[in-house]
Amino acid sequence: MTAPANDIDEYRIRAREWLAKNLERRSGDRTRVPRGTTPEQVAAARIIQGKLFDAGYAGIALPHEYGGQGLTQAHERAFKQEASAYRSPNFGVIGNTTFGVCAQVILAHASEDFKRRHMPRILAGKELWVQFFSEPGAGSDLAGVTTRAVRDGDHWVLNGSKIWSSGAHHADYGMCLTRTNWDVAKHRGLTWFAVDAKKPGVTILPLRQINGGSEFCQEFFDDVLLSDEDVIGGIGDGWTAAQTMLMFERGGGRAEANAELGRQRPGRTLAPDLVELARRRGVEKDGRIRQAIALVHTNDFIQGQLGARIGAKMMRGRADAGMAAYLKLAAGTFGPLRACLGMEIAGAGAVAWRPGDAVAERTSNVYLNGRTTAIAGGTNEMQRNGIGERVLGLPREPRFDSDRPFTEVQRLAKEWSGRM
Ligand SMILES: Cc1cc2nc3c(=O)[nH]c(=O)nc-3n(C[C@H](O)[C@H](O)[C@H](O)COP(=O)(O)OP(=O)(O)OC[C@H]3O[C@@H](n4cnc5c(N)ncnc54)[C@H](O)[C@@H]3O)c2cc1C
């Protein structure tokens, strides 16, 4: 559906007026320390999200029956452009998993009933969702999960453990990948369930991270009762929904925004955060530091242009997890490097600093968190495998477990001598 241009202009004017009355302007403050979000911040974000929802500015292009406004993508774009100057609800990491990943998988795979039940609550900030897929023994080998859901009369009984679930301590629901059939090949016996985080038998334990924060958690499920209403996608069809999830997790949902940035080709500023760091230390004329800033600037630019090209390709029909792997690999390669160079520029001041020096604290935290983009959502090695096999058509890695029932794979793994 397309909307007449004057419709969009009027909509934009109304949105602009609403934003000015209801939201705070962004301050451009670069001192936020990325150490996780507090319950108070999440509660405040829920209130702002509720305001947006009540005013009709959440789910603008989604159908009315899911709590949306049934308007066009052009309306949604116009609102986003106007809203970019204002502080959006700051849910921290759980905001991205709720709106950027879980809601997208629900829209693509859940039943009509499920969408009508959960989507309006998600849009209103009443349901925050996290991903329960990784396990202590199944990360890169995601199809190897052993958390099980067993049918028992009208119910399913969930047992097992998940780990590294970002934001789970703030969650209302987790989207949980389970094994429901052990007698078929590992990719075929999987099913996603919605798990209410407050249900009896669900234990969520925050994990302490190297930067002192606790942004992700481990969960234990002990005889948690689920029903058919909680299934997302078909029973045994979990791998299909997992591919959608990985595509969004790897940045595939930003394809349009990335492509748009590429079209505009903005004259990018020279790594402003690092220039500011160098100035604070008085080393902005040091040749070595200038080289580091130039390298970061070049990488930022390359990453932006790569994002634009991949975004454009995805919009032309190649929206899949293999294509999104390019975006994730770029983030996982340039991100850690940028964080290291930030430390070099900041020098000893980012190792030890006076209390209250938020810039130094932030620099050290970005460094400590730096490796996460090379791991979360699939490691750099797995992105390279995905690009090689799914995009370039290179020979697949040798696999001994894709055509055997999963029970047999487990038995063979236990008996394996370690010799190839
Ligand atoms: C910040 C952060 C947030 C996360 N958030 C979530 C979340 O919200 N929900 C969730 O479920 N999970 C989450 N994860 C978990 C993440 O998805 C896994 O850590 C990731 O998939 C890697 O799995 P693993 O840690 O088990 O490592 P492993 O799979 O054990 O990998 C160990 C090493 O072996 C390499 N390797 C493994 N297999 C291969 C192969 N076939 N070819 C080449 N190399 C290979 C890997 O690249 C890696 O270097 C998060 C992780 C991080 C760091």
pLDDT tens digits along 94-117? 999 999 999 999 999 999 999 999
User: 36: pLDDT confidence band, cut at 50, 70 and 90?
Assistant: confident
For ligand 1, what atom is nearest to the CA of residue 131?
Answer: 9
For ligand 1, what atom is nearest to the CA of residue 397?
Answer: 41
> Could you tell me the distance, in angstroms and rounded to a whole number, from the CA of residue 306 to the centre of ligand 1?
24
User: 191: pLDDT confidence band, cut at 50, 70 and 90?
Assistant: very high
Q: What tens digit of pLDDT does each residue of 380-404 get?
A: 999 999 999 999 999 988 888 888 9
* Residue bearing the CA closest to ligand 1, atom 48: 379
Token output for 75: 């309306």
The whole-number pLDDT of residue 167 equals 96
For 50-64, b/e burial (b = at least 16 CB within 10 A) is: bbbbeeebbbbbbee
Q: What tens digit of pLDDT does each residue of 50-75 get?
A: 999 999 999 999 999 999 999 999 99
Output 170 or 259, whichever has higher pLDDT.
Answer: 170
> Could you tell me the distance, in angstroms and rounded to a whole number, from the CA of residue 221 to the centre of ligand 1?
21
Average pLDDT over residues 189-209: 97
Instruction: Give rounded-to-5 percent helix, strand, coil for the chain.
Output: 55, 15, 35
* C-beta contacts of 60-68 below 8 A and 24+ residues apart: 62/107, 62/119, 62/123, 65/115, 65/116, 66/107, 66/115, 66/116, 66/119, 66/120, 66/123, 67/119, 67/120, 67/121, 67/122, 67/123, 67/124, 68/119, 68/123
Average pLDDT over residues 18-46: 83
> At residue 35, does pLDDT exceed 90?
no
Length of the chain: 420
**Residue 399 burial by CB count (10 A; 0-12/13-18/19+): exposed, middle or buried?**
exposed
User: 255: pLDDT confidence band, cut at 50, 70 and 90?
Assistant: confident
The whole-number pLDDT of residue 4 equals 65
Average pLDDT over residues 146-164: 97
Provide residues with CB under 6 Å of ligand 1.
97, 130-134, 139-140, 162, 164-166, 216, 372, 375-379, 381-382, 385, 397
| Helix, coil or strand: residue 189 | coil
Average pLDDT over residues 189-204: 98
Q: Across the chain, which distance is largest between two alpha carbons, in Å?
A: 73
- How many CB atoms neighbour CB 250 within 10 A? 26
Alpha-carbon gap, residue 262 to 299, rounded angstroms: 15
Token output for 378: 């699939």
> Could you tell me the distance, in angstroms and rounded to a whole number, from the CA of residue 8 to the centre of ligand 1?
43
φ and ψ of 232, to 5 deg: -115, 115
* Residue bearing the CA closest to ligand 1, atom 45: 381
Output 198 or 251, whichever has higher pLDDT.
Answer: 198
What is the DSSP secondary-structure string of 220-265?
A: EEEEEEEEGGGEES-TT-HHHHHHHHHHHHTTGGGHHHHHHHHHH-
The whole-number pLDDT of residue 319 equals 78
| Helix, coil or strand: residue 133 | coil
What is the DSSP secondary-structure string of 56-69?
A: T-SSTTS-GGGT--
Q: Which of 379, 383, 394 gets mutated to test ligand 1 (max ligand atoms within 8 A of its CB)?
A: 379
The whole-number pLDDT of residue 267 equals 57
Cα 61 to chain centroid distance, Å, stands at 21
> Could you tell me the distance, in angstroms and rounded to a whole number, from the CA of residue 180 to the centre of ligand 1?
23
> Could you tell me the distance, in angstroms and rounded to a whole number, from the CA of residue 261 to the centre of ligand 1?
30
> At residue 30, does pLDDT exceed 70?
no
Q: Which of 140, 328, 380 gets mutated to test ligand 1 (max ligand atoms within 8 A of its CB)?
A: 140
Residues annotated as part of the active site: 249
* C-beta contacts of 406-413 below 8 A and 24+ residues apart: 406/179, 406/182, 406/183, 406/184, 406/185, 406/186, 406/189, 407/182, 407/183, 409/186
Average pLDDT over residues 310-325: 86
Specify the range with the lowest mean pLDDT, choosing from 27-36, 79-88, 288-297.
27-36
For ligand 1, what atom is nearest to the CA of residue 138?
Answer: 26
